[in-house]
Structure 1
């Protein structure tokens, strides 16, 4: 999806590494996804642009330490114009980081990139600290496209660990689906497909800010559909923010006082 978006004349971002990272298997998976769903909405494209802009806001605030949890095939370390002195920690399973390194063997990151090969189900804070993460410095954390795959208690533990590692002034970006969206008939084909792929969606919430707000962080929630409409990319009328029971997702930008 990021590769296709990058080829559009009205693209929301440019990711010159996405096509290589996706490979034939990624393109086949996308084709199967589209065959199984009646409608493909630009959520990932909007989310990518939104988080890119949030990274830029963090740079402007002087943050130079970034952590990408479950980094996957994220190419931001390679494609964004990082300020000098920036360190980006990419945390993911060893086999994921190895596949990524193989596909990007000829590319060079635009920052100091530190790969942290560990499973988020284990003691990843220890691995992150051992890799050089400085908990006394302000950080920006990215949790993109992950929470829906986790159990509720794992989500709670993840945010508690982020809180424990974050200096005052740190920031956190994440996205999460609402309960009505997870339970909507329109999403059922996608959910069936994800279950067949071995990655079922488990978690949703209608109180996205509370996930980190209960740790004292200030959080601002953005509706990706509203942002997509603002950018001319949403095929439906947007619902008012106070509409109850509507299927929706959430993007959150939070900061620690």
Structure 2
């Protein structure tokens, strides 16, 4: 996945969040998303809906609300939060973080710089630390140098990233997260079903993503194993469950993806 494709994906997600925020009864409100998306994001969203249908945006909308709630729960006990592949995520500015929370945003330098430029006059609702780094490489030393304390519990969010990595890169990423996580840490991640990658109904969306330089490479039908193999306790939720509860998912449809909330206990491997 090229740096240019990363930036395109980030503005598309921002456009989806902006569109949701304009609804009469939105699942979340992101007052920064429209500025972050810009005209490029709105144009990308229009093309995506034309090619793959309105339902193609539902998973991003549902996961945003789901992870908003999960992050605020995790931050009650883990006051350092790391958002990997943060993209144009504005949670540091829009969520009501507990006092004393530090949010680290990690992504490619160009993406971080673009977001910082748009939000230069805004005040985050937490201590905010940004870090430009290649998540396919070894970013561990950089994040600890930026202030992350591996002896204290951390809440991690890996949102909308894993499908763009190959299997080896996914496992390296989880190994690095685990090595930096004290007992009491929480790991939040979403993952598409392996079955979804070959589903005929997904052909249009997958072709569109590949054409823009961001093909989907990785999925799993046993998503909890990524954390459980490292000794974490994982709870897996099919995307369709909160999607239906939020009124944004056809009742009979499966989600084709999963949300995982994993907790590291004192007996986990390190």
TM-score with structure 2 setting the length: 0.90
Instruction: Name structure 2 gaps, 5 residues minimum.
Output: 1-15, 266-270
Residue of structure 1 in register with 2:192 after alignment: 177
Distance of 1:172 and 1:226 partners within structure 2? 20
Whether 2:259 is the aligned partner of 1:251: answer: yes
Distance 1:114 1:146 in 2: 20
- The Cα shift of 1:238 comes to 4.2
* Residue 133 (structure 1) aligned with residue 148 (structure 2): yes
What's 1:244 paired with? Answer: none
191, 198, 201: which one aligns with 2:216? 201
Corresponding residue to 2:115 among 91, 100, 124: 100
Q: Which residue of 2 aligns with 1:224?
A: 239
Q: CA deviation at 1:107?
A: 1.1
Secondary structure of 1:40's aligned partner: helix
Shift in Å, 1:38: 3.7
Q: Is the 8 A contact 2:96 2:125 kept in 1?
A: yes
What TM-score, normalized by structure 1, do the two folds share? Answer: 0.94
> Cα RMSD between the aligned structures?
1.2
Residue equivalent to 1:58: 74
Total equivalences in the alignment = 249
CA–CA distance in structure 1, aligned partners of residues 136 and 68 of structure 2: 27
1:41-68 C-alpha deviation (Å, 9 max, x unpaired): 41111101111110121133x2100001
Q: Give the conservation status (yes or no) of the 8 Å contact 2:75–2:101.
A: no
Instruction: After TM superposition, give the deviation of residue 39 of structure 1 in Å.
Output: 4.6
Q: What are the equivalent positions in structure 2 for 1:1-257 lying under 5 Å apart?
A: 1-41=16-56, 42-60=58-76, 62-238=77-253, 248-257=256-265
Structure 1 residue runs of 5 or longer lacking an equivalent are 240-246
Cα offsets for 1:156-208 (capped at 9, x unmatched): 00001111000001000000001111110111111111111100000011010
SS of equivalent residue, structure 2 residue 222: coil
Separation in 1 of the partners of 2:221 and 2:248? 24
